[in-house]
Amino acid sequence: MNNHRSCSSHCCVLHGCKYGHNDCPVVTKSVAQEYPCENCGHEGIDSLKELNFRQEAVGMEIRTTDKKFMLELIDFLNSYQSVEPDSTVIRAF
């Protein structure tokens, strides 16, 4: 862990490290964020409760998108099960 003491009051779990540290303790969640960051304010997030709600919603959206993408990919790949091995569709890949 680093000693970036100002990260807890300036960085954000949703918007990242204000200072660009890869090991920001707020982003890695080893230190609690004290206040919403400047970017939160621009997005109308006024409290840590709102920030946590938004972060959870974004996480759910990402997980849902990933699951939807994987199901679409599986359907796409399964649609080629009956194609002959030497077909032009298979060779195009």
Return the structure tokens found at 48.
């840590």
What string of pLDDT tens digits covers the 93 residues of the chain?
456 778 998 899 888 999 998 899 998 888 889 988 888 888 888 888 888 888 777 766 556 667 777 777 677 777 765 555 555 444 433
- What is the spatial distance between Cα 75 and Cα 23, in angstroms, rounded to a whole number? 39
Q: What's the Cα-to-Cα distance from 17 to each of 44, 63, 91, rounded to whole Å?
A: 19, 23, 45
- What is the spatial distance between Cα 17 and Cα 39, in angstroms, rounded to a whole number? 11
Predicted pLDDT of residue 84: 55
pTM over 0.75: no
- What is the spatial distance between Cα 54 and Cα 61, in angstroms, rounded to a whole number? 10
> In terms of DSSP H, where are the helices of 1-93?
7-10, 38-42, 48-78, 88-92
The residue whose two tokens read 């849902």 is 64
Predicted pLDDT of residue 89: 46
Predicted pLDDT of residue 11: 92
